Amino acid sequence: MSAVLAPFSLTRRLRRRAAVSPAPRIARPAWSFDGLHRIEIVAPDPECAALLLEYASPLFPAELVTGDVSVVRLQPPQAGARWVIELLALVERWLESVPLPCATLIYGGRSYLIRSSLDIAKFVVTEPETAAITQFVVAEPQTAATL
């Protein structure tokens, strides 16, 4: 009888893991208030950035950073969660007035894509209204005698 060799995957041994493992990474919420970061909103051109700066100045300390792309940098307040709602309302108002389909917002090392409500409305399917449907009137066929 010939000896049958076992497949390699069955004969290999499992290696022991290192005794020192890396510390587990603790996930924090995207909008955490621990160690507040600056918020950066990327604008496509300097005119759009100037309009955003005009809208943001009454709500947040803001500055315009120019370079390859125009960025408006905002500083969120130290306390409360209301600033998040104000920020999203600000970005939505700016997107509708420019008009842009979306904006890139950078906060805490993460990038967020904020879409305009006008852009999202394009994807909503609505039922046709009955008042909008035109009715066609079928005329009776005319004969040569009636012409």
Q: What is the 3-state secondary structure (H, E, C) of 37-105?
A: CCEEEEECCHHHHHHHHHHHCCCCCEEEECCCCEEEEECCCCCCCHHHHHHHHHHHHHHHHCCCCEEEE
- Strand-pair partners of 74: 39, 62
Rounded distance, CA 84 to CA 74, Å? 12
Rounded distance, CA 133 to CA 10, Å? 71
pTM: 0.58
pLDDT in tens, the chain (147 residues): 556 665 555 555 555 555 565 655 555 444 444 445 789 999 999 999 999 999 999 999 999 998 889 999 999 887 778 899 999 999 999 999 988 899 999 998 899 999 988 766 666 666 665 544 444 445 555 656 555
Rounded distance, CA 145 to CA 147, Å? 6
Domains of the chain as residue ranges with CATH: 32-118 (3.30.70)
